[in-house]
Structure 1
Amino acid sequence: MKQIQDAYIVAATRTPVAKRNGMFRSVRPDDMLAHVLRAVVDKVPGLDASEIGDVIVGCAMPEAEQGMNVARIGLLLAGLPDTVPGVTTNRFCASGVQAVADAANQIRLGQADVMIAAGTESMSVMPQIMGNKVSLNPAIFAKEENFGIAFGMGLTAEKVAEQWKVSREDQDAFALQSNQRACAAIAAGHFKDEITPYTVRTHVPGEGGTVRVIESLCDTDEGPRADAAIEKLAKLRPVFAARGSVTAGNSSQMSDGAGAVLLMSEAAVKRYGVTPIARFVSFSVAGVPPHIMGIGPIEAIPRALKAGGLTQSQLDWIELNEAFAAQSLAVMRQLDLDPAKVNPLGGAIALGHPLGATGAIRTATIMSAMQRDSSVKYGMVTMCIGTGMGAAGIFERV
């Protein structure tokens, strides 16, 4: 009987994250995916791509341009051998980190030596955040305890703000800090190593009926607001409730982006002579009431820590997805998370949240931090999930 073996992350990369209808407005999600898949494979010279056991891709809205098993399409567009399989997974906002966990588990169980986990999402190509066709089960409305399934995410944030007594002022201050940290990180070049620049090609009419191609190199996250100020944030009206506190300024941005993570077994690490960045430690998901879905990490984080045999104080870097300032603050206060360790380079309020890609993107951020700062031994990616869940994945620098 095989023993559980370790899974190591040997490379990770991502695109810059674009605003919805921003610099990636004409870029397909499968093309973004193909871009990061090529890039992450290229980070290991000499890698025999035919050895990749599977490509697992997170996508929260796997339909339209990002449907038809975007994982398989993306890997073929990337030029990977057609013998390499691909599967798309959906756990809404945790789809990307779920893909990392699933890929790691394939290695841990001895079913593969090389795996790729990724995520892609274009909120520009989707006609609305809920996809092309919303068709909720009428049974949802038959019982009050199920009403939260149909709540928009913003309304669940209002419920969390009310129950955990998170003030508008605190939400705006948190949003300002997110932007300030992100802008400072960009200025310091902290994202450079994790981003693979993307060239956007735009076709425009030229003279005499010709078509002119304009190329733009995108290498920097588009979302952070250098001009963010408390005064400006305070003037924004609530979006989801007339007397609420959740605004566009203290919520995550709708975004486009992709990320990819290459994992190997110890045998593959030795065979290819690569130096791993981190060991996959543990992963956990947990359910919470749908109407307060934002508190999901409160349940998921302790489970992931227990599974990894760790204490919370051992975490050095926490990527807590900022779906909303309200839920982020509620989670941080309930678990007594150290604010200095949470999103040191800013979070989704500033950097954006391309749904199913975010987990893979933020995994790349932690890998970059571990390579840059030897004091970061344990890092965690965690987020809340629509319909009432939370997820948390933990990594150890090696």
Structure 2
Amino acid sequence: MSHSRTVEIEGHIIDSGTMQRCFGAVMDLGGSFDVEQFDVGTHEEAESYCRMRVSADDEGTLQAILHELHQNGAVLEDPSDVALVAAPDDKVVPPDFYSTTNHPTEVRYDGEWIDVEQIEMDCALIVDPDGPDGEPRAYTKVLNAVEEGDLVATDESGIRVNPPERPRGSGGAFGFMQGGVSSERPSESTIREVAAELREVKAAGGNVMVVAGPAVIHSGAGDALADLVEAGYVDSLSAGNGFATHDLERSLYGTSLGMDVETLEHPRKGHKHHIWTISEIIRAGGIEAAVEEGIVTEGVMYQCVRNDVDTVLAGSIRDDGPLPDTVTDAVEAQDAIRDQAHDADIVLMLATLLHSVAVGNCLPSTTKTVCVDINPATVTQLLDRGSAQAVGMVTDIGTFVPTLAEFVLEGDEDAAVAEAGENA
């Protein structure tokens, strides 16, 4: 006995590869399809529409196929309202709860489609029938934040995923799904495009988030990142205890993990500099206090304090000290990083795999992302988190950050000269 359902897909589904993925998913999972209607958009702004009947030999196979189609934006013909079940206890969700993707999502409630707020992968989807303004509201919650009585979406009925589509025009460095990783990519031209994007985001009042690893300091790129912070091109910084410690060590002792980053020499007792640094910051009462007292006089953390940059230092089991500013509660750190990620319009992930993956888990697929590391596998793993607008560069972080800062600040100088000419 054959089991079948009819699904609909619409949008720029041809040039974005959506139809190819949907057809492939049906056949790869052992099903078949019959295209009942296919209307092709015939100009740049026109959308296409497809209605097809999907069949499988058993209900389990059909459900697996429908799940894959759902992830690519397909919805059942004549969809029902979202199925909601109250959470039986705090941090407990119904057995068949819907686990979100990082793509823009809508739920159908009381016959209307509602945008899901704070979209993030691997979360529960909550519907509040009486939101703050009295209107229904849909949003995501991580499992440990679910409260007893929350109305949790189950299954996939009444839920519509909208994967990002190919933009109607040139995407530049952030072209749709261009996340191929290659050390052969022309670095200078790509960095110029990233610099231009940073300037555009800031000019529009957008938010720039930086995720940085200790290699930024070890490679000598800390000064350039500090320049970007001072110039107002960083709104939030997510890093670990190690990054901050080595940056502060550079200010106090001129070394990073005991090495002079200019001469590459190791001063006597240099291996103790990082732990001495932690001790001095603890004695001062924290990074901000150390800056205010004149103990720390330069570097990324110094500029973050001076420019009121939102900073989250997330701890790990291997941290020395740690610094008093480091968030050692993992769940608290996740929540703080999540707040930063939800506000970000563009994210620079600089030579840190674990922190970057953590941030990537919180980002919608529409957030522009730049991933830079000397290891190709690291960049690939970061891009595989699902961003549709991503730049991946396999290069030395010590080259990337100073070059980026040069191009960004060079643009500021050019703009100032142009403005002066107009006012003359």
TM-score per shorter chain, which class? under 0.3
* Higher Cα radius of gyration: 2
Q: Could you say which structure has the greater relative contact order, defined with CA pairs below 8 angstroms and 6 or more residues apart? A: 1
The TM-score, its normalising length taken from structure 1, stands at 0.25
